[in-house]
Chains A and B, each alone.
Chain A
């Protein structure tokens, strides 16, 4: 408990970060909503409509009210459905791989093994790799259809090498992103596992609990909270995967929502369309976040 005076000072102390974050959230959002209602193309300075000088921030000549048409075009663009599908696939697959794989790996690393610290270092390393590096290394040196390492491995086992980015770009992106996030899940679940009471473990051993039921009744409930945290955080980041798609140039077929908006805005210079896409992405993210928070809420409150 604190006094009036410290609470008053506290409000002053919180103010800068609250104001900064509020502006960071609200100003771009408001502008995006406004732009999404305009016909506004950086490359087309003279659209066939009367200019909207009063609201103009800069170069007023090239924008005018467009109503909901940007939304209409964005939502009916076949690329939109592909992007949504790709976004969901990417999130779903990487979550599945990293959570299930993470649990198994964490259980393995929790065993009495030699050189556990070194093993852990090796497994966590991919998480620290810059996304652009990961994209280029995977695309060229690992997945190159002729001289990539995987091509050699496939041939070694008498299989036909896959031209990943030509035939299965989504799979390639999933592998790449999962490679980065599996370590994250493993690290967090392992940390949680190691906080499982040693006496509990011993008691279970004394009770002669078979490993599976021990896992099911003791370990899994203990991991429930960290697993929800992993899902929450990975979802935030996975919905926003961008660099891997941008750098590998697989946006055409594996492009997700962020990539599509980027494409509309900074490649086609269609600010209105990109803004409508951005708003749709925000709405979708909020729907996901809403269910996520509800699902996770009770688990995090405790």
Chain B
């Protein structure tokens, strides 16, 4: 509904909102700007906002020195791999809970949510030792398994809320049309739920990409994703702000873009469907 709002009031709120947004966004903006500075300009005081010698050299140096691409590749593999494997076992689960619920389905869903309440530190030591003994430390397969289990409850919950919105009659129609349960899932449910599945993938790629506790604890080099790449800058190298900024920008840019696309779905996914 269009409501008459006095222009003055509107200007006031607009200015206020932009000011706050600028403050909140500033650290990111500052990081991006600094990544284009020379190291000298980067620590200059008073700060140089736009009028400095713009350069791309930091990006080249970062890639050369710490092999950004390897870490980025690991991040992509871990995020996508864990999400896809989780989807493979989550889709049948969510289907069953949405369309063939039993008396305990609600309890099962709550139990799955409760596994997210377990603090990871309770599992860190055994997982670390199991990984050590089975030579899974610093392997992509091992981390994918952990990230998959970590996000599985969220994936199941998200899919469940999306599936719930699909009318059961359509699946029954497929059954009347002679489709087996497998074909019903493959040809009817999955295509209909594509938007929901896509948002689920998006959110979980974001979560897996930014997961730091397990990736920092269980990887060192070969399977290390961008979280580790950045953490390696906490050593004295971190004093090279322009390079730190270039590395940071490269680590967050892909997910920032994805995240902006996924805002609405994010709300739904992170609140387990409680807020849409």
Give the one of A58, A115, A125 with max B CB within 10 A.
A125
B124 engages A261 (CB within 8 Å): yes
- Residue A97, interface by CB 8 Å: no
B255 engages A128 (CB within 8 Å): yes
A265 engages B89 (CB within 8 Å): no
B226-276 interface (Cβ within 8 A of A): 226-228, 230-231, 233-234, 238-239, 241, 244-245, 248, 251-252, 255-256, 258-260, 263-264, 266-267, 270-272, 274-276
- Residue B77, interface by CB 8 Å: no
- Residue B149, interface by CB 8 Å: yes
A124 engages B227 (CB within 8 Å): no
Q: How far is the CA of A123 from the CA of B14 in the complex (A)?
A: 14
Question: Which residues from B are CB-within-8-Å of A136?
Answer: 230, 233-234, 238, 244, 248
Q: How far is the CA of A255 from the CA of B145 in the complex (A)?
A: 28
Partner of B267, one of A188, A248, A265: A188
- Residue A278, interface by CB 8 Å: yes
Q: How far is the CA of A133 from the CA of B228 in the complex (A)?
A: 10
Known: A132-B227, A149-B47, A226-B275. A289 touches B124 (CB 8 A): no
Q: Interface 1/0s, chain A 181-219, versus B by CB < 8 A?
A: 011100110011001001000100000000000000000
Q: Interface 1/0s, chain A 248-276, versus B by CB < 8 A?
A: 11000000011001100110000100110
Count of A-B residue pairs with CB < 8 Å: 306
Say which one of B21-29, B51-59, B61-69, B193-201 lies at the interface with A. Answer: B21-29
Question: Which residues from B are CB-within-8-Å of A119?
Answer: 17-18, 21
A123-141 interface (Cβ within 8 A of B): 123-141
- Residue B129, interface by CB 8 Å: yes
A114 engages B10 (CB within 8 Å): yes
Partner of B274, one of A112, A129, A147, A300: A300
A137 engages B125 (CB within 8 Å): no
Q: How far is the CA of A135 from the CA of B239 in the complex (A)?
A: 14
Question: Which residues from B are CB-within-8-Å of A25?
Answer: 115, 118
Question: Which residues from B are CB-within-8-Å of A188?
Answer: 267, 270-271, 275
Question: Which residues from B are CB-within-8-Å of A76?
Answer: none
- Residue B50, interface by CB 8 Å: no
A16 engages B118 (CB within 8 Å): no
A219 to chain B, nearest CB (A): 15
A16 engages B89 (CB within 8 Å): yes
Question: Which residues from B are CB-within-8-Å of A123?
Answer: 20-21, 24-25
B224 to chain A, nearest CB (A): 11
In the complex, the chain A residue whose C-beta lies closest to that of B24 is A123
Q: Does more than half of chain B's interface fall in helix, strand or loop, or is it mixed?
A: helix
Say which one of A46-54, A166-174, A279-287 lies at the interface with B. Answer: A279-287
Known: A113-B13, A114-B14. A130 touches B252 (CB 8 A): yes
B128 engages A137 (CB within 8 Å): no
Q: How far is the CA of A126 from the CA of B227 in the complex (A)?
A: 16
Partner of B271, one of A21, A118, A229: A229
- Residue A55, interface by CB 8 Å: no
In the complex, the chain B residue whose C-beta lies closest to that of A23 is B149
Known: A21-B115, A122-B22, A262-B217. A16 touches B102 (CB 8 A): no
Question: Which residues from B are CB-within-8-Å of A147?
Answer: 43-45
Q: How far is the CA of A243 from the CA of B90 in the complex (A)?
A: 28
- Residue B108, interface by CB 8 Å: yes
A131 engages B227 (CB within 8 Å): yes
B263 engages A124 (CB within 8 Å): yes
A127 to chain B, nearest CB (A): 7
Question: Which residues from B are CB-within-8-Å of A225?
Answer: 274-275
A300 to chain B, nearest CB (A): 6
Question: Which residues from B are CB-within-8-Å of A262?
Answer: 121, 124, 217
User: Considering the complex of A and B, which 5 residue pairs feature the smallest CB-CB distances, nearest first?
Assistant: A10-B96, A28-B123, A243-B212, A10-B100, A13-B92
- Given A109-B17, A282-B118, 7 additional A-B pairs, CB 8 A: A14-B92, A29-B122, A114-B14, A119-B17, A130-B226, A242-B213, A279-B122
Q: Provide 19 A-B residue pairs closer than 8 Å at the C-beta atoms, listed in order of the A residue.
A: A10-B97, A10-B99, A17-B152, A20-B152, A25-B118, A29-B118, A32-B123, A111-B10, A122-B22, A122-B24, A124-B259, A140-B241, A141-B244, A141-B245, A142-B27, A257-B121, A258-B121, A258-B213, A289-B117
